[in-house]
Amino acid sequence: MEETIELEIFRYRPDQEDRPTFQTYEIPFRKDWVVLDAINYIKDQIDGTLSYRWSCRMGVCGSCGMMVNGVPKLTCATFLKDYYPDKIRVEPLAGFPVERDLVIVMDDFIHKLKEIKPWIIRREGEEKPIEEGEYLQSPAELAEYKQYSMCINCMLCYAACPVYALDNTFVGPAAIALAQRYNMDSRDQGREQREEIIASNEGIWECTFVGECSVACPKSVDPAGAIQRAKVGSTIDWYKDLLMPWGGKKR
Amino acid sequence: MKSYRRPVPNTLWLSRRPYILFIIRELTAVFVGAYCVLLLFFIYKLGKGLEAYQGMLDALKSPLSIILHLIALAFAIYHSVTWFNLTPKIMVLQIGEERVPAFLIAGANFAAWLGLSVILAWVIIGV
Ligand code: SF4
Ligand code: FES
């Protein structure tokens, strides 16, 4: 007898129903299959109406994130054998509105990414003319922020964050880590501009340091660490302002 | 097409083990805070004279007080251990291209804790 495994999948078809349901599919169990393979099998062989996002199948594109048994995972990197013989429950990423089945609405996240100005900002008059070439950077300076530049925008960290689930205005882990990535870049001078968002009420101070974003992150970005370091930075700013109101804020 | 917002249950904080552990860490602050109030109370009693202070010391020897102390101790230890384990995320030291490993940073905190505890124990028991 062929071994099988059951997948219980979140379904939401806004054209047919007002609220979501769960649908169970029984599929062949293969040791080398990941959850995404199983979902692809369902789509190809059993039920073509199932909607979900995926692309690279190798943990690079960041589009296949889903809740697997309540935990945010890249489904292309989550093996069936780690759950077999138990049933696996697959849901869209927590904390986001659902567009259809396993597809979430990510507008809020995209907006937040843009909001923190994720590009190199130079102070007025300090931009080098193109003929003078690139801004140089040492390997040690690169190492300062490299970790935060590894983000693939998979949003698993948001799905892991109870604060974001309760209050969607929170800027959230990946966006703050990305701000930190530029703030710590030796070529960048835009920290003060980003602080408007980062140090606002919806920014770093919403974070209670649950730390699950860093556990969920498949790229070891450690957004929780980035947020705490940003808190330290903002606190130092605040004291500097208090003690030296005439300046000293420039970085 | 309308999107669907899943309701967030009031029991969100109890829905996953890591969240529960986090909430316990937050709760420990209540016990640590309460203990600080108790210490302040000590000073207050001392100001009232030696007799009042002795009376308080005797009251603290009751079994109920000892049980409460043990509970507070357990929470204080949980608080300290989980907090020190998080310090490498906040204190990042980079030497050249290398980061100082997390265990060294957490370890330094634990070592300081141990050192201070030994000094305290020596002050309390030693003299
Ligand atoms: S920080 Fe990590 S979990 Fe969050 S979006 Fe980036 S890669 Fe994904
Ligand atoms: S399919 Fe690209 S990360 Fe999973």
Q: Where would I find the beta strands (DSSP E) of chain A?
A: 4-11, 21-28, 65-68, 71-74, 88-91, 98-100, 103-104
SS3 A89: strand
Phi, psi of A6 (to 5 degrees): -100, 135
Question: Are residues A169 and A66 located together in one domain of the fold?
Answer: no
DSSP B14: G
Question: Are residues A137 and A18 located together in one domain of the fold?
Answer: no
Q: Which residues, listed in sequence order, are joined to residue A71 by a DSSP beta bridge?
A: A68
SS3 B17: helix
Average pLDDT, chain B: 91
In a domain, A18, yes or no: yes
Question: Are residues A142 and A230 located together in one domain of the fold?
Answer: yes
Question: Are residues A121 and A176 located together in one domain of the fold?
Answer: yes
Kindly determine whether residue B16 and residue A144, on different chains, have CB atoms separated by under 8 Å: no
Which domain range does residue A43 map to?
Answer: 4-104
Q: Which residues of B touch A (CB under 8 A)?
A: 1-6, 8, 12-13, 15-16, 18-19, 22, 26, 86, 88-90, 92, 94, 96-99
**CATH code of the domain covering residue A186:** 1.10.1060.10
> What is chain A's pLDDT, residue by residue, as a tens digit (251 residues)?
789 999 999 999 999 999 999 999 999 999 999 999 999 999 999 999 999 999 999 999 999 999 999 999 999 999 999 999 999 999 999 999 999 999 999 999 999 999 999 999 999 999 999 999 999 999 999 999 999 999 999 999 999 999 999 999 999 999 999 999 999 999 999 999 999 999 999 999 999 999 999 999 999 999 999 999 999 999 999 999 888 887 655 54
Q: Which residues, listed in sequence order, are joined to residue A79 by a DSSP beta bridge?
A: A34
Q: In A116-222, where does DSSP find H-type helix?
A: 139-145, 156-160, 162-166, 173-183, 191-198, 212-216
Separation of alpha carbons A156 and A222, rounded Å? 12
Question: Are residues A116 and A220 located together in one domain of the fold?
Answer: yes
Q: What is the pTM of this model?
A: 0.91
Separation of alpha carbons A219 and A58, rounded Å? 12
Question: Are residues A144 and A209 located together in one domain of the fold?
Answer: yes
Ligand 2: atom nearest CA of A154 is 3
Q: Which ranges of chain B have pLDDT less than 70? A: 127
In a domain, A93, yes or no: yes
Question: Are residues A145 and A215 located together in one domain of the fold?
Answer: yes
SS3 A8: strand
In a domain, A77, yes or no: yes
pLDDT given for residue A247 in this prediction: 65
| Residue A129 C-alpha, separation from nearest chain B C-alpha, in angstroms | 29
Kindly determine whether residue A98 and residue B26, on different chains, have CB atoms separated by under 8 Å: no
Report whether residue A53 contacts ligand 2, using a CB cutoff of 6 Å.
no
CA atoms within 13 A on the CB side of A124: 1
In a domain, A50, yes or no: yes
Give the pairing of strands A88-91 and A65-68.
Answer: antiparallel
Kindly determine whether residue A99 and residue B1, on different chains, have CB atoms separated by under 8 Å: yes
Nearest to A249 by CA among A201, A191, A198, A196: A191
Q: How many CB atoms are located within 10 Å of the residue A38 CB?
A: 24
Residues of chain B neighbouring A229 (CB-CB closer than 8 A): 89-90, 92
SS3 A79: strand
Q: Which residues, listed in sequence order, are joined to residue A34 by a DSSP beta bridge?
A: A79
Give the pairing of strands B98-99 and A88-91.
Answer: unpaired
Separation of alpha carbons A225 and A204, rounded Å? 11
Domain end among A75, A104, A133: A104
pLDDT given for residue A245 in this prediction: 80
Q: Which residues of A touch B (CB under 8 A)?
A: 12, 14-15, 19-20, 70-71, 94, 97-100, 105, 139-140, 142-144, 162, 165-166, 208-212, 214-215, 222, 224-225, 228-229, 232
In a domain, A251, yes or no: no
Domain tally, chain A: 2
Q: Are A152 and A100 in contact (CB under 8 A)?
A: no
Residues of chain B neighbouring A12 (CB-CB closer than 8 A): 4
| Residue B34 C-alpha, separation from nearest chain A C-alpha, in angstroms | 21
Report whether residue A225 contacts ligand 2, using a CB cutoff of 6 Å.
no
In a domain, A250, yes or no: no
Report whether residue A65 contacts ligand 1, using a CB cutoff of 6 Å.
no
**Which of B12, B26, B96 is closest, CB to CB, to A140?**
B96
Chain centroid, CA B105 distance in Å? 19
pLDDT given for residue A251 in this prediction: 46
Question: Are residues A82 and A100 located together in one domain of the fold?
Answer: yes
Specify the residue with its C-alpha closest to ligand 1, atom 6: A151
Question: Are residues A22 and A122 located together in one domain of the fold?
Answer: no
Separation of alpha carbons B19 and A208, rounded Å? 11
Q: Are B89 and A214 in contact (CB under 8 A)?
A: yes
- In order of their start, the domains of chain B are 13-125 (1.20.1300.10)
Separation of alpha carbons A181 and A204, rounded Å? 15
Question: Are residues A93 and A164 located together in one domain of the fold?
Answer: no
Question: Are residues A78 and A183 located together in one domain of the fold?
Answer: no
Q: Are A218 and A77 in contact (CB under 8 A)?
A: yes
In a domain, A26, yes or no: yes
Task: Give me Rg for the CA atoms of chain B.
Answer: 21
Question: Are residues A183 and A100 located together in one domain of the fold?
Answer: no
Specify the residue with its C-alpha closest to ligand 1, atom 8: A154
Degrees (nearest 5) of the Cα angle A122, A125, A129?
80
Look up the ipTM and state it. Answer: 0.86
